Structure 1
């Protein structure tokens, strides 16, 4: 992966403008769950997104990840407006600019660690070439699993499998990493290790991180804490100095 020195750390990777999301449009049961959100993230940002159940975190993450479309407002990814983009363009942006890590790693059991890391590239480009395989090995080395490249997921611990998932999310060298409760299924030691990986990739490779978590210990270590309440941003404050 390219070193952070090649990136402008103040480059804006995400901009939300008046973002709204409603369900059951036109029906008596219509409900608006996000109410005009404004937010921006730069490459240097390492932010936690917190809020009680039902506050709109999952809806917001799906919109930012271009998995759903807003009812009103705009989502800009690296300056490109996306609300009216067609499915192919949204898929291309999602595949190349945004990485995802979830609570459950969703590794493919029949594939090796290296093959799992390379999966996003294989879906887009087919069989990986030598340069892509070298990138996969490099990422496994970054997450401390260089010696485990040929192991299947059932030969790895839970923490190791999640580190493979982190490497997979970063293989496309995204500008933004979205992490949805990524440590919720791990013991405290493994959780700390995965969090440290996010921090390292943010600082070393200029990948903005937006981390959804209920873990107050983790959110307190983030540079920003964005709090959602009833579909609105209630606060956006610094976490750690």
Structure 2
């Protein structure tokens, strides 16, 4: 069995194909993410990062190439298969946390399991409380998202993304809406989660300092991977 949790082979994406507005956003993307890797995806605005993340998240379909998730090809999968794979293999953290204000912090963490199977089990509730403890918010479990800070809300979103124990966590500018100190704290949490839970993490960031703290950095420019390096990032 492959050690790759994600494999992209010659992935391309064309919008408005066959029309005067046709635009090629991604060109022949080859990328592998091993199990337990922490990787930063960087690049200027308009480089194709969001498009690539949408493809990896199975929210869109490539125009060319093949995307393997947990060794399973996905390009020709039907909607039901893609939804199942997304729910089983992926966790998502966004710049804006999308917490539901009517529910408590604990209920927000449990939401993916509630959607999947209805009323959460005692074991699921224990898992959610454990995740809140891991992100330093165990005492906030009964509060509403509006009663905690922005950085704390993002930590809740991270715990929510981990509740299904996904092998791959996708983070799209997760610190972009936070001040520098809080952003560093949240990113430290990503590194700890990566080490403790062993899940692969792909994080899109514009912050070169945060990217530099990832063991691996992939740079995208004009829809092409121009560098794929391990070690500290020296330039953005």
TM over 0.5: yes
Q: CA deviation at 1:189?
A: 1.9
Query: Retained in 2: the 8 A contact 1:135–1:171?
Result: yes
- Of 96, 107, 113, the residue aligned with 1:115 is 107
- Of 123, 138, 144, the residue aligned with 2:130 is 138
Q: CA deviation at 1:27?
A: 1.0
- Aligned-partner Cα distance in 2 for 1:222–1:239: 7
Aligned partner of 2:21 in structure 1 is 29
Could you give the per-residue CA deviations for residues 190-238 of structure 1, whole angstroms, max 9, x where no partner exists?
A: 1111111111111111111111001011001011110001100000011
Aligned partner of 1:213 in structure 2 is 205
- Of 30, 39, 47, the residue aligned with 1:38 is 30
Q: Flag structure 1 segments of 5+ consecutive residues without an equivalent.
A: 1-7
1:49-198 to structure 2, matched below 5 A, reads: 49-198=41-190
TM-score (norm: length of structure 2): 0.96
Q: CA deviation at 1:143?
A: 0.3
Could you give the per-residue CA deviations for residues 117-171 of structure 1, whole angstroms, max 9, x where no partner exists?
A: 0101111111101111111011001000111111000110111110000000111
Q: CA deviation at 1:31?
A: 1.4
- Aligned-partner Cα distance in 2 for 1:123–1:75: 26
- Of 10, 13, 34, the residue aligned with 2:5 is 13
Which 4+ runs in 1 deviate beyond 4 A? none
TM-score (norm: length of structure 1): 0.94
Secondary structure of the 2:227 match is: strand
Q: CA deviation at 1:26?
A: 1.3
- Of 34, 40, 51, the residue aligned with 1:48 is 40
Query: Retained in 2: the 8 A contact 1:219–1:239?
Result: no
Aligned partner of 2:194 in structure 1 is 202
- Aligned-partner Cα distance in 2 for 1:67–1:34: 15
- Aligned residues: CA RMSD: 1.3
